[in-house]
């Protein structure tokens, strides 16, 4: 029994040992790679020309859209990124004072998609970009569930080789020293590319110099643990379709608790369960022994009584005649043995009776 419990523990410990890597990553605060790049979007500067969308389409060699990028009427409806569009600009505010907001992957410092991916298809590069590797992607779409900004999209029409599609901050262009496509094309510098730390200073300076033009908040500085793509706006961020209730906890922090529990369960459960097994087994054994003892006692008592009856009878036989004695003795022995014969049967039954006990 002990050996079995030990084996069980060993087996569970193996699972435990293979899992806790996730728990290690949790708990510590990560504030981005030093010198990593980012983009600052300034909604007060965006004019909604869709040049960024066109540039994105071009540099990523995405399929041509139905309506040309010069058609600004599409801004009247709310759009989101899809498998053929890595970035969209939406129009908010009043017709007299429209406010435009570009949306694309925000390249979180600790990306929810990367933390959620069970094949490590997403990676945060030291240059700030969150990139996707389709060669390992299984297509489970947990990244899409996890992303708080609703950015990753999926090639639903692809029967066998669907990919998750999203902006990769033009990581390949960055390597060649080029700006991301959208940033390069923005005519109003509503998008500024640079070191994230630098961008935060620029953003603060803009707010400081024009306190009446900006909401005093840099969206993305702390949201979801911070993002590489950040936003400035003249109207509350809620009004330009950005959620203000995301909090500052990064995705890995949210799942850290559940992941940290894994090795604990794997380690503790076998001990507990083994213990319970041992205790219940022991209880059953003790109960068995007690029953056995009770039965033995009963037998002993019955034999003693039988013997006593026998000796009593023998005493009486002294005064009775021999024949009578013989008859009496025989009778007494028979009487005494009767319960003894019955007892062994009873003990068997007791041994099996545990099944019926409830």
Partner 1 sequence: MSTPASNGPKSAFNTFNLVAGAILVVGLILTVLRFTQGIGPVTNLDDNNPWGIWIGFDLLCGVALAAGGYTTSAACYIFGLKRFHSAVRPAILTAFLGYALVVFALQYDLGRPWRLPYPIFVSQGTTSLLFEVGLCVMLYLTVLFVEFTPAMFEWLGWKKIRKVVVKLTLVLTIFGVVLSTLHQSSLGALYTIAPSKLHPLWYSPYMPLYFFVSSIAAGMSMVIFEGSMSHKKLHRMMDEEYLKHHDGVVFGFGKAAALVLFGYFFIKTMGVAYDNNWHYLVSGYGLLFLTEMLGFVALPCFLYAVGVRDRNLSLIKKASIITVLGIVFNRFNVSMIAFNYHLPAADRYFPSMTEIGISVFIVTLGVVIFRFITTRMPIFFEHPDYKGDH
Partner 2 sequence: MANGKKLLRLSGILIVLAGVLGFHMEAMSMVGTPQENGNKRPDLIMIDTIAAQEELELPAVVFLHDTHTKAVAEQGKDCTACHQKNEGTVSYKFMRLEDGSPEKLKEIYHNGCISCHAADAKAGKKTGPQVGECRSCHMADPEIKAERAPAGMENILHYRHWDSKLIAKDEGQDTNCGACHHVYNNLDKKLEYVKGQEENCSVCHTSEPKGAVKLTTSEAYHGQCVSCHLEMQTAKADKTGPVDCAGCHGEMQAADIKKDNAAVLKKLGNTLPRLPRQQPDAVLITAPVQEKVAVKATMAAVAFNHKAHEGYTDSCSSCHHDTMNKSCSSCHTVRGSKDGGFVTLDKAMHKADSTRSCVGCHAVKQKDPKCAGCHELMPKNVIQSEETCAVCHNGPASTSSEPVTMDASAKAAIASKLIMKRPESPALIAEKDIPEFVTINVLENEYEASKLPHRKIIMSMVDGMKGDAMANAFHSTPLTVCGSCHHNSPASATPPSCASCHGGKVQDGRPALKAAYHGQCMTCHDSMNIKKPASTDCTACHAKK
The entry of partner 2, partner 1, none that residue 284 binds, CB within 5 to 8 Å by partner kind: partner 1
**H or E stretch at 317:** helix 251-319
Of residues 15, 72, 260, 310, which one binds partner 2 by CB under 8 A?
A: 72
Closer by beta carbon to partner 1, 58 or else 282? 282
d(CA 168, CA 106): 9
Q: How many angstroms separate the Cα of 239 from the Cα of each of 48, 350, 351?
A: 16, 78, 77
Assigned token pair, 331: 């009778």
Closer by beta carbon to partner 1, 131 or else 306? 131
The entry of partner 2, partner 1, none that residue 157 binds, CB within 5 to 8 Å by partner kind: partner 1
Closer by beta carbon to partner 2, 213 or else 282? 213
The entry of partner 1, partner 2, none that residue 47 binds, CB within 5 to 8 Å by partner kind: partner 2
> Max alpha carbon distance in the chain (Å)?
137
Q: Which stretch binds partner 2 (CB under 8 A): 4-12, 187-195, 228-236, 316-324?
A: 187-195
Closer by beta carbon to partner 1, 109 or else 114? 114
d(CA 218, CA 307): 101
Assigned token pair, 239: 């009004």
Identify residues 35-54 at the interface with partner 2 (CB under 8 A): 45, 47-50
d(CA 72, CA 160): 35
Coil, helix or strand at residue 70: coil
Query: What count of residues does the chain have?
Result: 358
Q: Nearest 5°: phi and psi at 39?
A: -135, 140
* Residue 202 binds partner 2, judged by CB under 8 A: yes
Measured from the CB of residue 277, what is the shortest distance to partner 1 in angstroms? Answer: 5
Closer by beta carbon to partner 2, 117 or else 183? 183
**Interface residues with partner 2 (CB under 8 A)?**
45, 47-50, 72, 186-189, 192-194, 201-202, 205-206, 208-213
């Amino acid at each position: 029994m002990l050996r079995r419990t030990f084996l069980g523990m060993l087996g569970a410990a193996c699972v435990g040992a293979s899992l806790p890597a996730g728990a290690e990553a949790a708990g510590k605060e990560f504030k981005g790679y030093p010198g990593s790049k980012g983009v600052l979007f300034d909604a007060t500067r965006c004019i909604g020309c869709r040049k960024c969308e066109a540039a994105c389409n071009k540099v990523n060699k995405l399929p041509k859209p139905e309506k040309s990028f010069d058609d600004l009427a599409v801004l009247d409806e709310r759009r989101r990124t899809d498998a053929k569009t890595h970035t969209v600009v939406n129009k908010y505010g009043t017709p007299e004072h429209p406010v435009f907001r570009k949306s694309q992957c925000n390249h979180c410092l600790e990306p929810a998609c990367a933390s959620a991916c069970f094949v490590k298809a997403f990676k945060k590069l030291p240059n700030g970009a969150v990139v996707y590797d389709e060669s390992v992607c299984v297509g489970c779409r947990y990244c899409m569930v996890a992303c708080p900004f609703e950015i990753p999209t999926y090639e639903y029409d692809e029967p066998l080789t669907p990919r998750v599609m999203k902006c990769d901050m033009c990581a390949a262009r960055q390597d060649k020293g080029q700006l991301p496509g959208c940033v390069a094309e923005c005519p109003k510098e509503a998008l500024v590319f640079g070191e994230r730390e630098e961008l935060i200073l620029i953003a603060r300076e803009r707010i400081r110099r024009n306190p009446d033009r900006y909401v005093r908040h840099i969206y993305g500085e702390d949201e979801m643990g911070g993002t590489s793509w950040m936003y400035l706006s003249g109207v509350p961020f809620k009004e330009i379709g950005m959620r203000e209730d995301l909090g500052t906890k990064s995705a890995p922090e949210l799942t850290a608790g559940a992941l940290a529990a894994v090795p604990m369960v794997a380690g503790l459960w076998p001990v507990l369960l083994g213990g319970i097994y041992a205790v219940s087994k022991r209880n059953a054994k003790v109960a068995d022994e007690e029953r056995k003892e009770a039965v033995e006692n009963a037998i002993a008592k019955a034999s003693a009584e039988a013997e006593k009856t026998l000796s009593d009878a023998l005493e009486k036989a002294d005064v009775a005649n021999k024949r009578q004695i013989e008859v009496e003795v025989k009778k007494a022995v028979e009487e005494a043995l009767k319960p003894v014969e019955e007892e062994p049967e009873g003990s068997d039954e007791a041994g099996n009776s545990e099944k019926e006990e409830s």
